[in-house]
Structure 1
Amino acid sequence: MKGKGHRVRRPLLKWVVALCLLAAVLVSVDRQTLWQELSQMPIDLLLPALAITVLQVLLSSGRWWYTARRLGVSLTYRVALREYYIASFLNQVLPGGVLGDVNRAWRHGRASGQPLYAMHGVAIERLSGQLVLGLAVLISVSWLAQVGVVPPESPWWMWGLVGLVVVVFLLGRYLIRSSRGARHYLRGLWRDIVRTLVAWPAFPIQMGSSVLVLASYLAVFLILAYGAGHLTSWNAMILTAALCCLLLLSMVLPVTVSGWGVREGAAAVLWPMAGLPPEQGVALSVGYGALVFLSTLPGLVFLTVRLKQAGSGARDPVRKNQDQRAYHCPD
């Protein structure tokens, strides 16, 4: 019972953290100005912004489908698209922002009969996106330091963080040398990473698709900023894009639900550093969060259909559509 209560309290705690952070942001900004900023975002721009979010899912699903093919795991693009929508919706409503991807990996592993490769496929597909985001953040911080938005030493802190990750990786590699099982698993994981992310032609395909996905994220931010009348010059557009890269990085922290609270708190800090009102950044962050949530609602439809089929005893649509014969693509 104690373990069950702990499992229930942890998700609730993240909801509480999100609400507390949002409340703190609302207290720290002018709420009337914030409402004016939100009301300036025209409704007619929602359609192109939502269209871009559809492109996001199409690209991300294709990236997962390609990764699975490189691993030799059967996955049709139609199934990948449906499961990605479901995962995106679950990531929006469940604490941590990764439980939808965990469910996606588990269902794919059950359907394909290759759970380890299915798990690696989802993890590497997500890693591809995070690598591109990390590079974009480094470029953004370097540029923001040059124009005086952030302290000049900030890029060195970012590169120091990269160095710390490398040191931790090397230390972990040294510590697990005594474990044959861990050594065998990591070698297999590294081979999968090389096959799906580093080897030719995987690298340009993975990086190219991830760059397009990141560009679509930033395009949604920029559409909202344009609708609110904030993109008055090219410099304003570049500044907004750089700041939004940092907002996307803040959402990686799995301490709330879908980045709510953390994203708005980061906006309330970053925009004044750029000489802009915090309400502008918070409004942009709230608009982005609401729009992304709306874009994942097809996942709710797919999830409802799946639950109805499970309740009626119908065959799992993933199992029905998956070719159970695994095939391998040449490296």
Structure 2
Amino acid sequence: MLQIVFTVGILFWLLHNTNWQELGQRFAALRPLWFVAAVLSYAMNLSVSAIRWRIILMAMERSAPMLWLLRLNWVGAYFNQVLPGSVSGDVIRAWYTRHQTHSMPLALAAVFGDRFMGLGALIAIAAVAFVLGGARVGLLPQMGWTIRILVFAYVLIVFLILSPLLNFLEKFAGRLGEKLHDIRLGMAALLRHRLALGGTIVLSFVVQFFSILTFWLLARALGEAPDAVAIWVVWPVISLFLALPISFAGWGLREGLMVFYLSYLHMGHEQALALSLLLGFTVVLTSLPGALLWIGLHRHHQAPLDLKTPPASR
């Protein structure tokens, strides 16, 4: 309920201060080919991330058919848009892969590891772009501190995952502590597996490249030519904030941050709002096939293990 209140409140405030005629004109001038290219780009984002998920499972000595993971990735993307919480679809992905991992905590570790690697790539892109951005990034208020905090938080989480310091606290949490311990060990297995870690890092940058490409293509679909800082700093940082469970599927939060930051890069209220709304619509539209892929999923959710997986790793 709080997420819905937050989302409705922000959207109401933004739309109340919007020139509806100008906003409508921007959507009326939408360039279809650029929009279709953006939809395909986001579809590639979902497809490549399924490969990353499979590599993470292999690092945990588990595996599942590639088509099964691709299907679940689309199902998860759909439920991330229609259920409250920013990780609802991730929990559903873990639920349907618990048979391949033989453990729900391990399934959660693989899914959260997949999400965690993606966030790390976003932070790296934003940090490097901020350093190389020169005077342009100085236009963005408190962006330097925001990126520093994100980098520090990410490094701290990696340290806690690999460190045995949490063992003491997990023992006092009972069964919940045991499950959290299993999740942490699963994610640590990935971070210690050099080959798998290298592969997931490379794929994470590829996934985020398609995310940034989608942003740029949609801007072009609206006839905009966004500043490079908007593409490489603002959008990655906004994407990181969208992982916070404070709005419904990112609506409202995305629009508010987009209007706020892009105004400092000389993009008008209606321009930034139109781009943000189009981004949200594109994500929903591209994720809709997940609803169809979910139908009948419960009838064969115990997907067979990959026959190429050696018996010892099952």
Q: Shared fold (TM-score greater than 0.5)?
A: yes
For structure 1, the 5+ residue unaligned runs are 1-11, 311-315
Q: Which residue is equivalent to 1:118?
A: 107
Pair 1:206 & 2:178 matched = no
Mark the CA change 1:122 to 1:144 in structure 2 (over 3 Å): closer, same or farther: same
- Structure 1 residue 185, shift from structure 2 partner: 6.8
> In structure 1, how many angstroms separate the alpha carbons of the residues matched to 2:199 and 2:170?
35
Q: Which residue is equivalent to 1:83?
A: 72
Is contact 1:142–1:155 with CA below 8 Å preserved after alignment? no
- Structure 1 residue 215, shift from structure 2 partner: 0.7
For structure 2, the 5+ residue unaligned runs are none
> In structure 1, how many angstroms separate the alpha carbons of the residues matched to 2:60 and 2:172?
21
Q: Which residue is equivalent to 2:140?
A: 150
Mark the CA change 1:118 to 1:320 in structure 2 (over 3 Å): closer, same or farther: closer
Pair 1:34 & 2:17 matched = no
Residue 304 of structure 2 is aligned with which of 321, 328, 331? 321
The correspondence of residues 197-276 of structure 1 with structure 2, limited to 5 A, is: 197-231=191-225, 236-276=227-267
Q: 1:68-127 CA distances to partner (integer Å, 9 max, x unpaired)?
A: 111122311111011111111000111112111101112211454222221211111111
Q: 1:221-245 CA distances to partner (integer Å, 9 max, x unpaired)?
A: 111111222228xxx3454343222
> In structure 2, how many angstroms separate the alpha carbons of the residues matched to 1:305 and 1:188?
30
Mark the CA change 1:160 to 1:222 in structure 2 (over 3 Å): closer, same or farther: closer
> In structure 1, how many angstroms separate the alpha carbons of the residues matched to 2:109 and 2:278?
33
Mark the CA change 1:140 to 1:23 in structure 2 (over 3 Å): closer, same or farther: farther
State the identity %.
24
| Counterpart amino acid of residue 57 in structure 2 | A
Equivalenced residues, count: 305
Where 2:247 maps in the other structure, the secondary structure is coil
Is contact 1:141–1:150 with CA below 8 Å preserved after alignment? no
Where 2:194 maps in the other structure, the secondary structure is coil
Where 2:249 maps in the other structure, the secondary structure is coil
> In structure 2, how many angstroms separate the alpha carbons of the residues matched to 1:121 and 1:132?
17
- Structure 1 residue 142, shift from structure 2 partner: 4.0
The TM-score with structure 2 as length reference comes to: 0.85
> In structure 1, how many angstroms separate the alpha carbons of the residues matched to 2:155 and 2:51?
30
Q: 1:196-254 CA distances to partner (integer Å, 9 max, x unpaired)?
A: 2343212221111111111101111111111222228xxx3454343222321231121
The TM-score with structure 1 as length reference comes to: 0.81
- Structure 1 residue 305, shift from structure 2 partner: 3.1
The correspondence of residues 5-84 of structure 1 with structure 2, limited to 5 A, is: 12-84=1-73
| Counterpart amino acid of residue 15 in structure 2 | L
Where 1:105 maps in the other structure, the secondary structure is helix
Mark the CA change 1:142 to 1:40 in structure 2 (over 3 Å): closer, same or farther: farther
| Counterpart amino acid of residue 268 in structure 2 | P
Where 2:284 maps in the other structure, the secondary structure is helix
- Structure 1 residue 136, shift from structure 2 partner: 2.0
| Counterpart amino acid of residue 177 in structure 1 | F
Is contact 1:74–1:326 with CA below 8 Å preserved after alignment? no
| Counterpart amino acid of residue 97 in structure 2 | H
Is contact 1:41–1:224 with CA below 8 Å preserved after alignment? no
- Structure 1 residue 24, shift from structure 2 partner: 1.1
> In structure 2, how many angstroms separate the alpha carbons of the residues matched to 1:142 and 1:282?
27
